[in-house]
Amino acid sequence: MILGRSLAFAASVALLAASPSFAALRWDGIESVPGRTPVVVKVAGHDRHYFRVTPREPLMITIQGPAKVRVVSRAEFAKGSQGVQTYRLRAMEGGKVIEELSTESSASEQAELRDGEQAGKGRKLTFEVGSGSHNVSLALEGASAVLVRVRVAGKRAAAGMVSLTPTDAARNLLLSEGEKTIPYYELTSARPVRLRVIGPVSLDLVTRLCFDATMRGSLGYRITVTEGGRKVRDLVYTASKATTASFTNARDLVPSKMDRVVLPLGAGTHELVFTLVEPARGSAVVHARIPAPTTGNEE
């Protein structure tokens, strides 16, 4: 039985949705699941986080609706494989099937795993959930394992965003751009930024590399996000100097153009640590935001 003796893992995504209409979608990928290690699949040259699903280990997603869910699944193939795999992926809630996909797939030339194995061609399963909290299980039949990437979207309320202040940072740098002054927080390899976030929530992150007088051209940088010693996400970018932004309280540094990512976090308190890994010398800055709390009948 697919659901018998299964070990389900939860990932929470908070979406602010005013109605079941999805006219204005913004998709958030689920990048971390407690207790699970993401499988990095390089798709058309870009790293994407997938999670392995087996008949005995479905993936449980807790979604706040109304929302639309899109699941891209890929079978796993040995390098150079010419075979075809057939499988069925079901989205279930409370023992009932919401939607299912019966498909077959061969290896893709556009998707590969880091260990050299190939991933199958992407197969999409899309469904919607209504208002409230939904525990959706992704269950597999017919194959030993497939990789899934889950993205969730809802119609966003125009409630604005709230900036977060870290519990620890090297220093506060004020970035001026146009008529706005935005607080950023500096991180280095020796002095990370520490941030406490209460979930479920989608954490909006903007990062910039800090250029000093010795740095020229375009430079790569990498920030590692960890929680409790476990890696949550690697942020890897190529940076160039911004032409319309400057630090008002650090004239010796020039900010790069902004890089942005949304990190969905599950329920509970998250103690996140942001560390600059590359370059080993120098610094970067981060600005974190979350959707402003809504008003109504909530406690």
Domain of 26?
A: 9-155
Please identify which residue in the block is written with the tokens 């639309």: 68
CATH number at residue 109: 2.60.120
Q: Do 146 and 40 reside in the same domain of the chain?
A: yes
Q: Do 149 and 167 reside in the same domain of the chain?
A: no
Q: Is 17 a member of any domain?
A: yes
Q: Do 141 and 172 reside in the same domain of the chain?
A: no
Q: Do 223 and 102 reside in the same domain of the chain?
A: no
- Residue 41 makes CB contacts below 8 A (sequence gap 6+) with 47, 48, 49, 50, 74, 111, 112, 113, 119, 147, 149
Cα dihedral 70, 76, 81, 86 in deg (nearest 10): -60
Q: Do 120 and 241 reside in the same domain of the chain?
A: no
Strand pairing report for 123-141 and 146-155: unpaired
pLDDT for the residue 6:
38
Q: Do 41 and 147 reside in the same domain of the chain?
A: yes
pLDDT band at residue 283 under the 50/70/90 scheme = very high
Question: Mind listing the pLDDT tens digit for each residue in 22-45?
Answer: 445 677 777 766 556 788 888 887
* pTM for this model (two decimals): 0.49
Q: Is 4 a member of any domain?
A: no
Q: Do 139 and 185 reside in the same domain of the chain?
A: no
DSSP tally for the chain: helices H, then strands E: 0, 20
- Residue 60 makes CB contacts below 8 A (sequence gap 6+) with 8, 9, 10, 11, 135, 136, 137, 138
Which of 120, 155, 190 corresponds to the end of one domain?
Answer: 155
Which of 155, 171, 194 corresponds to the end of one domain?
Answer: 155
Q: Is 296 a member of any domain?
A: no
pLDDT for the residue 156:
46
Q: Do 62 and 86 reside in the same domain of the chain?
A: yes
Q: Do 221 and 251 reside in the same domain of the chain?
A: yes
Q: Is 2 a member of any domain?
A: no
Q: Is 131 a member of any domain?
A: yes
Better-scored residue on pLDDT, 195 or 36: 195
Question: Mind listing the pLDDT tens digit for each residue in 72-108?
Answer: 999 988 877 788 999 999 999 988 999 999 999 998 8
Q: Do 125 and 184 reside in the same domain of the chain?
A: no
Q: Is 112 a member of any domain?
A: yes
Q: Is 298 a member of any domain?
A: no
CA atoms within 13 A on the CB side of 62: 17
Question: Mind listing the pLDDT tens digit for each residue in 43-73?
Answer: 887 888 899 999 999 988 878 788 899 999 9
Q: Do 80 and 182 reside in the same domain of the chain?
A: no
Distance separating alpha carbons of residues 138 and 118, to the nearest angstrom: 22
How many structural domains comprise the chain?
Answer: 2
Which of 110, 138, 155 corresponds to the end of one domain?
Answer: 155
Q: Do 129 and 16 reside in the same domain of the chain?
A: yes
